[in-house]
Structure 1
Amino acid sequence: MAKYGLLGKDIGYSFSQTFFSIKFEKEALPHTYFNFDVPCIQNFKDLISDIPDLKGLNVTIPYKEAIIPHLFRLDKESKQIGAVNTIKFRKDGKLIGYNTDHYGFAKALAHFLPIYKKTALILGSGGASKAIRYVLDAMNFEYLQVSRTSSENTITYEKVTPKVLEEHFLIINCTPLGTTPNISEAPNIPYTSLGRHHVLFDLIYNPRETEFMKRGLARGARVSNGFKMLEYQAKKSWKIWNS
């Protein structure tokens, strides 16, 4: 019996465990999928050494970058992105890192193309945002990245003025703001400057309609949660584990 799982912190809400458990049952596959909810990534090697027949892991917040030093190598795309969300366990015991977030996001975003102008705001600067940047670069979008602290490559939320919002038509929430149980939270941007040409894409999938999405809908924008993205990336993970 092969074992798979999700590595993260505070992941009781996990999509992945439900998705793969249903898949295994429907296809009569003798596999299991576990949540590995760990408070500290430093003990990763000890964790996996106690689990026989582990074939693959998905990786989520906050370990998409922190997991990298624990891996034998990364594939070309995850190395370029700088974040990993899928680990394949080779027969020789070596662990290989992949990123399927970029694939999932690109596939999900395709449903909203074309966008009024190829300009975007990326809210958040964690591991997931790196995959988003990778896709937007490939699609020739101009974008700004927003974070709580400024840097050479980011602006702060205080600098997201109505004018900035009026000039950027794809807005992607890569932060955990609005995730269950804190469903009243949303990124601090001037939502009244949104309109029908905007697309708001939230990587959150629980709840299905976040406060971020609701505020966009109220202004006539098109919106999406992260469910389709996760579904696409999960299917891609399965192909990697079985290739």
Structure 2
Amino acid sequence: MEQITIPSDRDGVAYLYGHPLRNSLSPPLHQTVYNALGLNWTQIALSSANGPSYTQSPDITTFLSSIRSNPKFVGSSVTMPWKVAIMSHLDDLTEDAQQAGACNTIFLRKDSQSETSYVGTNTDCIGIREALLQNSPTGPDHFRGKPALIVGGGGTARTAIYVLRRWLGSSKIYIVNRDAAEIETILAEDKQRNAGGSGVAPLVPISDPAVAATVEAPVAIVSGIPNYPPKTEEESRARETLKVLLGRQPHGVILEMCYHPVPWTDIAQMASDAGWKVILGSEALIWQGLEQARLWTGTDVVAVPGLVEQVKEFVAKAVAERAKSNL
């Protein structure tokens, strides 16, 4: 793909950059926002078919040169495989992008001389934060000073660690993951990013169910792994460790970030059976999308009457339809 579409019939265009994009809810979610605001805007997925089930997006140089020369460009979502690679090519990065170690959003910033900067941020931070806070049993301070748990060792884990520290005030953060090397990488990155570590909630890997039975119970969990049954010994051990932690008292809330192809995963069922309140990952999708829309439109979209409800209704319907098609 060499040419990037600039629609002549639209006043503004946002992009979705990465691949594969065929199942993304981002363009219709943003269209719901634009329609509600009366904006003649659209979001276009930048990928082209490359075989029956694979899509390819343009390289970073092609993408950035195009948006910089596009007078209708308002912003872009960024997905894999570009979320880390694109960071060094942008004019500036927010603290959220730096701390999460990934960029999922580009927005425009103008200085006093009307010079435009292309800034990277990570609205997944806002998505995770709001999904947890909006579903807190007793308000925003429910999680403060108490342990939390991360399941996984990828980008979602890194983002969740930052959120749990900055906004939820977790006292410590347990990590359960099948791959010890991934955990070591997270620990090394975290040590470098937070040199000194003073006042920072410590990361505590747990790989033994027996140890899980002795630690202080977490009140918040963010799970960021695919919905596959455990097959290897390491996967089975991680799942058993999680099961023990889910059985601890008191129970809290779990955000299950995996919602595709089905919204209700094996881990969601385990947590529900154990008495935990389950928050679907589509909830985080909604709030991160609304934050993107705020950055791109300059409008406090959450304050627009009925808009959040429209977006939630669309996402719930879309997720339900996709789950039904995968039965």
Shift of 1:75: 2.0
**What's the secondary structure of 1:224's corresponding residue?**
strand
Determine which structure has the larger helix proportion and give its number: 2
Cα RMSD between the aligned structures? 3.0
Alignment pair present for 1:131 and 2:159: yes
- 1:121, 1:172 within 8 Å by CA — same for their partners in 2? yes
The equivalent position to 1:47 in structure 2, one of 47, 58, 63, is 63
Shift of 1:121: 2.0
Alignment pair present for 1:203 and 2:233: no
Q: Distance in 1 between matches of 2:222 and 2:47?
A: 26
Q: Distance in 1 between matches of 2:108 and 2:253?
A: 38
Tell me which moved more, 71-80 or 164-173: 164-173
Shift of 1:23: 2.2
Alignment pair present for 1:189 and 2:239: yes
Shift of 1:27: 3.5
Q: Distance in 2 between matches of 1:208 and 1:232?
A: 17
Paired residue for 1:30? 40
Alignment pair present for 1:120 and 2:136: no
Q: Distance in 2 between matches of 1:20 and 1:134?
A: 26
Shift of 1:160: 4.4
Paired residue for 2:180? 149
Q: Distance in 2 between matches of 1:40 and 1:129?
A: 26
Paired residue for 1:181? none
- 1:160, 1:189 within 8 Å by CA — same for their partners in 2? no
- 1:123, 1:145 within 8 Å by CA — same for their partners in 2? yes
Q: Distance in 2 between matches of 1:125 and 1:63?
A: 18
Superposition TM-score, scaled by structure 1 size? 0.81
Shift of 1:25: 3.0
Structure 1: gaps of 5 or more residues: 179-183
Tell me which moved more, 30-39 or 130-139: 30-39
Structure 2: gaps of 5 or more residues: 1-10, 49-54, 188-202, 299-327
How many residue pairs get matched? Answer: 236
Paired residue for 2:291? 236
The equivalent position to 1:140 in structure 2, one of 161, 164, 169, is 169
Cα distance, 1:173–1:61 mapped onto 2, change above 3 Å: farther
The equivalent position to 2:267 in structure 1, one of 195, 208, 212, is 212
Shift of 1:15: 2.2
- 1:48, 1:54 within 8 Å by CA — same for their partners in 2? no
Q: Distance in 1 between matches of 2:151 and 2:127?
A: 18
Paired residue for 2:321? none
Q: Distance in 2 between matches of 1:229 and 1:24?
A: 20
Q: Distance in 2 between matches of 1:46 and 1:70?
A: 12
Could you tell me the percent identity over the aligned residues?
24
Q: Distance in 1 between matches of 2:62 and 2:92?
A: 19
- 1:68, 1:84 within 8 Å by CA — same for their partners in 2? yes
Q: Distance in 2 between matches of 1:9 and 1:112?
A: 34
Structure with larger Rg: 2
